[in-house]
Amino acid sequence: MTVRNQQDTADPHGPLLVKPLAPTAVAVQGIFAILVLAAVYFARDFLLPVVFALLLFFVFVPVQRRLQRIGLPGALVAGAIVLSLLVAVAAVFFLLSGPVARVVENLPAIVQDISQRLDQARNAMLAILQGFRGGESGDIPDLRPALSTDDESSSENGDEEFLLNTASGALTYLAEAPARVAQFFLSMVLLFFMLSSSDLLYLKIIQSFDAFGDKRVALAALHEVEQKLGGYLGTVAVINSGLGVCIGLAMWALGMPVPLLFGVLAFLLNFIPVVGAFMGVMLSTVVALLWFDTLGSVLMVGSSYLALTAIEGQLVTPSILARRLRMNTVLVFLSIAFWAWMWSFWGMLIAVPILVALRVITEQVPRWRKVANILSGDRIALQHVDRTTRP
């Protein structure tokens, strides 16, 4: 018995050593996971432009390779891509600068009008509820009836408080603007270096493997990730651009203010499945409620936004992407909630692309294919299990 106990103690895989160390190993792994989450949260100002540049790299690196095949230098192509992105973003901000400047100039009047509309909308809803309770069939009040002189004096304090809150919020966003601009330029510079040295990056990754077979598998995996992830992100970006144009034109036709802003927001929000469409419908409806005087115009704006997003989500995107990279709906929602908690709105935008990238990468590693199967929204593996277990 003594010899056996000594052998078990000397054996690194023996039960006497494994069992006491198992809780410690789990605790260490849990602490490490918490530290990683904390690092990701507190380093978001640095990690966000890095992740954004990495996603853009997979979108544009196939374009760069096609242009390199016709003899164009890689650095020239990378510079042209980055310059095109900068010009596009600058053009959007230039077109939005005029309406935004007018809004800032007329901010006190806009705030007063908004507060009046909110008060009258509340009074209208209370009148409707009182009419239903009393059994009356009177006309529904207007969205913006005329204010009496008695109400003006009582609402001055509320208007001033609302104006101060709005101004403080605007100043907060203005104070964060230089940091956001710096993050954007950091991502663009990083994207330029990644595109111009894409071959070197792939070479260094392949050289990290020793066996020739592993090198070949790594190269094939890199090209597969590049093809699938870049194709998916590029296709979704094109679809979202078309949706943004359609919604911008619809808002312009319906008489909404700053239709270009609604188009840009539709482009960005459509990267967030389901939640983004809901946010866009609610935002456009609220602005229409504050802009128009009739309920029909408000409903027309909200229904138009909802109809366009429904056509995109149910017809356009499924017909173009088909079943490629279909994701688990539950994990998509959890990913959006998690990254919204970590990095707020910008985290919501990159939540699904990160999840898609994780699935594409895990598909290329045999040991991680079970994780890819969990992330997938297809039923192929489940059907296979049903066939094998069916009597």
Mean pLDDT of 270-293: 86
Closest C-alpha to 141, from 158, 126, 154: 126
164 or 36: whose pLDDT is higher?
36
Contact of 210 with 237, CB cutoff 8 Å? no
382 CB neighbour count, 10 Å cutoff = 10
Least confident of 120-124, 260-264, 372-376: 120-124
Per-residue pLDDT of 152-178, as tens digits, reads 444 455 545 544 555 555 555 556 667
| Helix ranges (DSSP H) in the chain | 2-10, 15-42, 44-69, 74-105, 107-134, 149-196, 198-207, 212-253, 259-269, 275-291, 295-311, 317-321, 329-364, 369-375, 380-389
Q: What average pLDDT does the chain have?
A: 76
**CA–CA dist 115, 15 (Å, integer):** 71
Q: Which one-letter amino acid corresponds to residue 26?
A: V
Cβ atoms of 163 and 106 closer than 8 Å = no
Rounded distance between C-alpha atoms, residue 294 and residue 128, angstroms: 16
pLDDT of amino acid 104: 65
List CB contacts of 162: < 8 A, sequence separation 6 or more.
Answer: 111, 114, 115
Structure-model confidence comparison of residues 174 and 6, the more confident one: 174
pLDDT at 133: 63
Residue 249 in this model has a pLDDT that exceeds 90: yes
Question: Which amino acid is present at 307?
Answer: A
Task: Work out the burial of residue 256: count CB atoms within 10 Å of its CB; fewer than 13 is exposed, 13-18 middle, 19 or more buried.
Answer: buried
CA distance 71 to 136: 79
Place of tokens 């009419």: 131
Which of 351, 337, 379 shows the shortest CA–CA distance to 51? 351
Question: Over the stretch 54-90, which tens digit does the pLDDT of each residue have?
Answer: 988 988 888 888 888 888 888 898 999 999 999 988 8
Tokens 């993050």 appear where? 183
pLDDT, tens digit, 9 for 90 and up, residues 289-309: 878 877 788 889 989 999 999
CA torsion through residues 109, 112, 116, 118, sign: positive
For residue 267, the tally of other CB atoms under 10 A from its CB is: 21
pLDDT tens by residue, 173-225: 556 667 778 888 899 999 999 998 888 888 888 888 888 777 887 788 788 88
List, as one string, the DSSP characters of 23-89. Answer: HHHHHHHHHHHHHHHHHHHHTHHHHHHHHHHHHHHHHHHHHHHHHHHTT--HHHHHHHHHHHHHHHH
With 70 as the cut, is the pLDDT of residue 12 above it?
A: no
Q: Do 225 and 356 meet the contact criterion of CB atoms below 8 Å apart?
A: no
The pLDDT value recorded for residue 177 is 67
CA–CA distance, 150 with 146 (Å, rounded to integer): 12
pLDDT of residue 16: 44
Residue 337 confidence (pLDDT) above 60: yes
For residue 169, the model assigns a pLDDT of: 53
Give the alpha-carbon dihedral of 97, 100, 102, 104, to 10 degrees.
-130
